[in-house]
Amino acid sequence: MAENYNKTLTPEMKAKLRKIKRLALDMDGTIYLGSRLFPFTLDFLKSMRDNGIGYSFLTNNPTKSVADYLQKLAKMGIEANEDNMYTTSLAAIDYIKTHYPTAKRLFMLGTPSMVSQFEKAGFEACADDAEDVPDVLVVAFDTTLEYPRLCRAAWWASQGIPYVATNPDRVCPTDQKVVLVDCGSLCKCIEHATNRKPDIVLGKPDPNMLTGIMQRHGLKADEIAMIGDRIYTDTATAHNAGAVGVLVLSGETTIETALAVAEDARTNPAPEFFPPDFIVRDIQELGEMILEAHKD
């Protein structure tokens, strides 16, 4: 694994690339960096579309609805629709519908934009009222958090209500002089108060972020590739789902770190992280490799 960096594609690698029917794309560090779209992103996406390869944009940030994310992408010039977007909110919706098919009413710690996504999917939001008992408790990254609602969420957790967390992130990255307390930290707060952990924590690296897409598009694990710039979330998601993992070096992870992880996996029977199947400079290089594989 990960042995292909700066090397010619082997027949085995080409065969693996030819099987891919859909790309799951991390966003920041993969298709853009901060607010700057990479100059090759639009050509890459068009090339994939022209060659019959679909793609979905993934994010662990549930604060915005799909409509909000699509608007952001549109401002960058990226053509996308609801079929191209998969957020942790959608993963939570799919999970609840699969595992709690009769659930309708949810108590949610989340932004109004996130709540609107659940309501669009047919769920109802419970009030901050001890008499309004939810079917499921959903805790997310809530930038509009009010203390009484945190206390109510802790109460429902203490009462054994099914409990779903949208993502594991402790903080949300920012270039501002502030710590953005994310979903994982809110869950730790509830755990400390109630001794209750979430029943499931979605978001990368949980495999449900990919299995949800696979179910929606009728794909097998080897027909989807997870592309991102972080080993501990993006390529870990691919490994956990049995999908193809592609690490891009256009964001957080350096080649030195990537090769160190590969070496650790080669020598350690229980490595902390598993290396990706492919390491590429950026999605432009990945696109070139996919096209080369399809020439045979």
100 vs 60, more confident? 100
CB atoms within 10 A of CB 295: 7
Give the C-alpha separation, 41 to 78, whole Å: 9
Q: Mind listing the pLDDT tens digit for each residue in 45-77? A: 999 999 999 999 999 999 999 999 999 999 999
Q: Residue 84's pLDDT band (boundaries 50, 70, 90)?
A: very high
Q: Mind listing the pLDDT tens digit for each residue in 250-271? A: 988 889 998 898 888 889 888 8
Give the C-alpha separation, 181 to 148, whole Å: 17
Shared-domain flag, residues 194 and 259: no
Choosing from 173, 201, 229, the residue where a domain stops is 201
Tokens of 92: 């939570």
Shared-domain flag, residues 95 and 193: yes
- For residue 214, is it within any domain? no
Shared-domain flag, residues 102 and 156: yes
Give the C-alpha separation, 123 to 143, whole Å: 21
Q: Mind listing the pLDDT tens digit for each residue in 151-160? A: 999 999 999 9
Interval 18-32 mean pLDDT = 94
* Burial (CB count <10 Å: 0-12, 13-18, 19+), residue 143: middle
Q: Residue 28's pLDDT band (boundaries 50, 70, 90)?
A: confident
Q: Which domain holds residue 145?
A: 90-201
Share of the chain above pLDDT 90, in %: 81
Shared-domain flag, residues 132 and 234: no
At 35 the pLDDT is 80
- For residue 270, is it within any domain? yes
Shared-domain flag, residues 238 and 192: no
Share of the chain above pLDDT 70, in %: 97
At 150 the pLDDT is 98
Q: Mind listing the pLDDT tens digit for each residue in 180-191? A: 999 999 999 999
pLDDT higher than 70, residue 6: no
Q: Mind listing the pLDDT tens digit for each residue in 193-236? A: 999 999 999 999 999 999 989 999 999 999 999 999 989 899 99
By DSSP bridging, strand 85-87 and strand 105-109 are unpaired
At 7 the pLDDT is 62
Q: Is the peptide bond before 11 cis (omega within 30 degrees of 0)?
A: no
Shared-domain flag, residues 190 and 238: no
At 238 the pLDDT is 96
Asked whether 144 and 108 are in contact (CB, 8 A), the reply is no
At 189 the pLDDT is 98
One-character DSSP codes across the chain: --TTTTSPPPHHHHHHHHH--EEEEE-BTTTEETTEE-TTHHHHHHHHHHTT-EEEEEES--SS-HHHHHHHHHHTT----GGGEEEHHHHHHHHHHHH-TT--EEEEES-HHHHHHHHHTT-EEPPS-TTS--SEEEE---TT--HHHHHHHHHHHHTT--EEES---SEE--SSSS-EE-HHHHHHHHHHHHS---SEE-STTSTHHHHHHHHHHT--GGGEEEEES-IIIIIHHHHHHT-EEEEESSSS--HHHHHHHHHHHHH-SS-SSPPPSEEESSHHHHHHHHHHHHH-
Q: Domain of 280: which CATH number? A: 3.40.50.1000
Alpha carbons within 13 A on the beta-carbon side of 272:
8
Of 70, 90, 86, give the one whose Cα is nearest residue 22: 86
Q: Residue 1's pLDDT band (boundaries 50, 70, 90)?
A: very low
Shared-domain flag, residues 225 and 193: no
- For residue 1, is it within any domain? no
Choosing from 143, 171, 201, the residue where a domain stops is 201
- For residue 282, is it within any domain? yes
Q: Mind listing the pLDDT tens digit for each residue in 192-201? A: 999 999 999 9
Give the C-alpha separation, 259 to 287, whole Å: 22
- For residue 256, is it within any domain? yes
- For residue 74, is it within any domain? no
Shared-domain flag, residues 103 and 174: yes
Shared-domain flag, residues 169 and 101: yes
- For residue 208, is it within any domain? no
Interval 115-122 mean pLDDT = 96
In this structure, the chain runs to a length of 296
Interval 100-109 mean pLDDT = 98
pLDDT higher than 80, residue 3: no
By DSSP bridging, strand 244-248 and strand 224-228 are parallel
Shared-domain flag, residues 95 and 177: yes
Average pLDDT taken over every residue of the chain: 93
Shared-domain flag, residues 231 and 194: no
At 295 the pLDDT is 87
Shared-domain flag, residues 237 and 194: no
Total structural domains in the chain?
Answer: 2
Choosing from 171, 201, 231, the residue where a domain stops is 201
- For residue 84, is it within any domain? no
Give the C-alpha separation, 189 to 184, whole Å: 9
